[in-house]
Structure 1
Amino acid sequence: MGNEEGWTKDAGGSLPVENVQALASKKLKDIPHRNIRPDLEFDRVSMDESLQIPVIDMSKLVRNQSGHGDELGELHRACENWGFFQLINHGVPAEVIENMKMEIKEFFKLPLEEKMSCAQLPNDIQGYGQAFVVSEEQKLDWGDMLFLLSKPASIRNMRFWPTTPTSFRATFDKYSSEVQRIAVCLLRLMGRNLGIDPEKLRSIFEDGTQAIRMNYHPPCVEANKVMGLNTHSDSTGLTLLIQANEVQGLQIKKNGKWVPITPIPGAFIVNIGDIIEIMSNGKYKSIEHRAAVNPENERLSIAAFHGPNLKSIIAPLEDLVKEETPNYKSLTHEEFVKLVVSSKLDGKSLVGRMKLLH
């Protein structure tokens, strides 16, 4: 794998914890204390069903390559005001998406010992398990994941890629390429909206990193005491998420309230990550979000994280700080990755550590 193996090697890993899917199958009367969270703010969940993230039509964006038109303005406002949007008519074949959903459903149905053939290793975030567990006292998410590095091919470690279902690898590879294509196209248009050469962001991300996290959150009878995925912002550039079944759970923070997101069938839920917040010098901000647990049904989702190329510097783009002060520190890609994987999911603490005090 060459020098690019350093993208995760010895950057830090996650401490081993009990498998949540197996734990839930025991139908315990009492939830383990490390899974119980006292600070879930369920009283701050918005009941306003009309409050939803913007919807962006990719076909309208692509149709207007000159960079003018209402949809490009809608994209800018979605990034600036929400940091989240749903993307429809994106051009990824429905068959590619449905096949990926089926593969991950089948993987999580496998016996635990089969899934454990893909288990995480010390000092590596890849594989089957949980991420961002950095202490024995830390509260734990109610969920398991399969986390794979997908692009560039040189950072893949096939030891973590399932061989069952037998079609998993080919399906995953196809899905990975299709989603990255959409992400790079969006980033190019975001660059135009930020007033910089749109090819700048495209060139940074086109041969960039991609990691895909497949989440499984089993039901919990005391769902009001646990969280599928703790409050966090994504430490990447751009995330494209698809639900693998019909069970909702994603909530985003807006004006101090938690807003439940109702996914549009076939749409990607797209969100700004910490890296784009830093590169845009805060013009586009990453948004805190979390995954709630359902008391009766399992929830599955697939999140594709898109980062810059391995040689990039994580810092405000030069074109945006010629006439203003940089608001964030500058780190090499390797330094940023080490910071990410050695930190627990905790709101926007990562961005906070990157901010410069003026």
Structure 2
Amino acid sequence: MPIPVIDFSKLNGEEREKTMAEIANGCEEWGFFQLVNHGIPVELLERVKKVTTECYKVEREENFFKDSTPVKLLKELIEKNGEEKLENLDWEDVFLLTDDNEWPPKTPGFKETMTEYRAELKKLAEKLMEVMDENLGIPKGHIKKLFNGGDEETAFFGTKVSHYPPCPHPERVTGLRSHTDAGGVILLFQDDVVGGLEILKDGKWTDVQPIPNAICINTGDQIEVLSNGRYKSVWHRVQAVPNGTRRSIASFYNPSYNATIEPASQLIQKENKEVNHFGYPKFVFGDYMSVYTEQKFLPKEPRFEAVKAAN
């Protein structure tokens, strides 16, 4: 069952209504879909592939296989001839890019390319949030304003650069354990050759098929709350694979830590305005992140209950 693939360029043409419906379906029925013809130049995407791959090889790969905890623990497990699986870690090399942290210094063109790429991704995220506003029937700009905690630009935009190296015993460890994302809109530029990403759909794990230069979109927990459950955050994971290194670049348009998140008033039935029967609470995003950090790989409903109880 393939993940929906949507031609984003048709949003501004004669097929706008159809494209809007496709995005609504992707958000409501899947929580995960892929955009093609999204407006980000292919030439830029090729540079992103190049600099992130070079960065991993030059600055990260040796240390992963020499010093990383997953490699050490997997080696110990195999030497013991144990049957168990490594449960509480991921077979992943990862670092975060934000506007104010230190970036890898040794890869030529890395900072320039990724700065340009992040700017394009942020614009795409804001376009998608406007589409979601319209599809949900809430005021234009509502999601962006909520995430910024007002009119100032305070929302968090981060980019996680991950590589999943070939694993000698993929049956013993997961590339990335199953979870839902804490934040808002997630834009993933995944490897177009090495697979491994799966989402949970109707109780079954489904592959997210690699498509060259597509951007995968998924919605996080905060979109679930503000949509009053209409758009669900989806469980996903990455399987370790024995051959090939998987590249994965996930960018997150998240609320600022001070932003107050709650269901949009237009999406709460009039008779239920005081009591939302599912119980999506009103909370400060920073408080939610404190809970999420401890419970990322656990069911999400107790996270909502925890911030509800704290307010």
Does 1:335 pair with 2:287? yes
- Cα drift, residue 272 of structure 1: 1.0
Does 1:59 pair with 2:6? no
Distance in 2 between the 1:343 and 1:138 partners? 15
SS of 2:49's equivalent in the other structure is: helix
Name the count of aligned residue pairs: 279
SS of 1:304's equivalent in the other structure is: strand
Distance in 1 between the 2:107 and 2:59 partners? 12
SS of 1:103's equivalent in the other structure is: helix
CA-to-partner distance for each residue in 1:9-48, whole Å, 9 max, x for gaps? xxxxxxxxxxxxxxxxxxxxxxxxxxxxxxxxxxxxxxxx
Distance in 1 between the 2:51 and 2:183 partners? 25
- Cα drift, residue 129 of structure 1: 9.4
Seen in structure 2, the aligned counterparts of structure 1 residues 78 and 185 have a Cα distance that, compared at 3 Å, is same
Partner of 1:147: 96
Does 1:268 pair with 2:215? yes
Contact 1:310/1:333, CA 8 A, preserved across alignment: yes
Partner of 1:354: 304
Given candidates 28, 31, 47, the residue that maps to 1:83 is 31
Does 1:218 pair with 2:169? no
Contact 1:211/1:304, CA 8 A, preserved across alignment: yes
Distance in 2 between the 1:188 and 1:299 partners? 31
Distance in 2 between the 1:217 and 1:58 partners? 29
TM-score if structure 2 supplies the norm length? 0.82
Distance in 1 between the 2:206 and 2:62 partners? 37
Contact 1:204/1:309, CA 8 A, preserved across alignment: no
Q: Which runs of 4+ in 1 moved over 4 A?
A: 111-116
Contact 2:55/2:106, CA 8 A, preserved across alignment: yes
Contact 1:263/1:269, CA 8 A, preserved across alignment: no
Distance in 2 between the 1:142 and 1:319 partners? 43
Distance in 2 between the 1:57 and 1:113 partners? 35
Q: How does 1:98-113 map to 2 (within 5 A)?
A: 98-112=46-60
- Cα drift, residue 138 of structure 1: 6.2
Does 1:304 pair with 2:251? yes
Q: How does 1:278-293 map to 2 (within 5 A)?
A: 278-293=225-240
Partner of 2:81: none
Does 1:157 pair with 2:101? yes
Given candidates 130, 137, 156, the residue that maps to 1:188 is 130
Contact 2:138/2:264, CA 8 A, preserved across alignment: no
Partner of 1:93: 41
Seen in structure 2, the aligned counterparts of structure 1 residues 335 and 268 have a Cα distance that, compared at 3 Å, is same
Distance in 1 between the 2:120 and 2:4 partners? 23
- Cα drift, residue 257 of structure 1: 0.8
Q: 1:84 corresponds to which letter in structure 2?
A: F
- Cα drift, residue 319 of structure 1: 2.8
- Cα drift, residue 258 of structure 1: 0.6
Q: Which has the higher helix share?
A: 2
CA-to-partner distance for each residue in 1:249-282, whole Å, 9 max, x for gaps? 1001011111111122111111111110011111
Seen in structure 2, the aligned counterparts of structure 1 residues 82 and 113 have a Cα distance that, compared at 3 Å, is closer
SS of 2:200's equivalent in the other structure is: strand
- Cα drift, residue 68 of structure 1: 5.8
Provide the aligned C-alpha RMSD in A.
2.6
Partner of 1:277: 224
Partner of 1:229: 176
Seen in structure 2, the aligned counterparts of structure 1 residues 172 and 248 have a Cα distance that, compared at 3 Å, is same
- Cα drift, residue 226 of structure 1: 1.5
Structure 2, gaps ≥5 residues long: 71-85
Partner of 1:318: 265
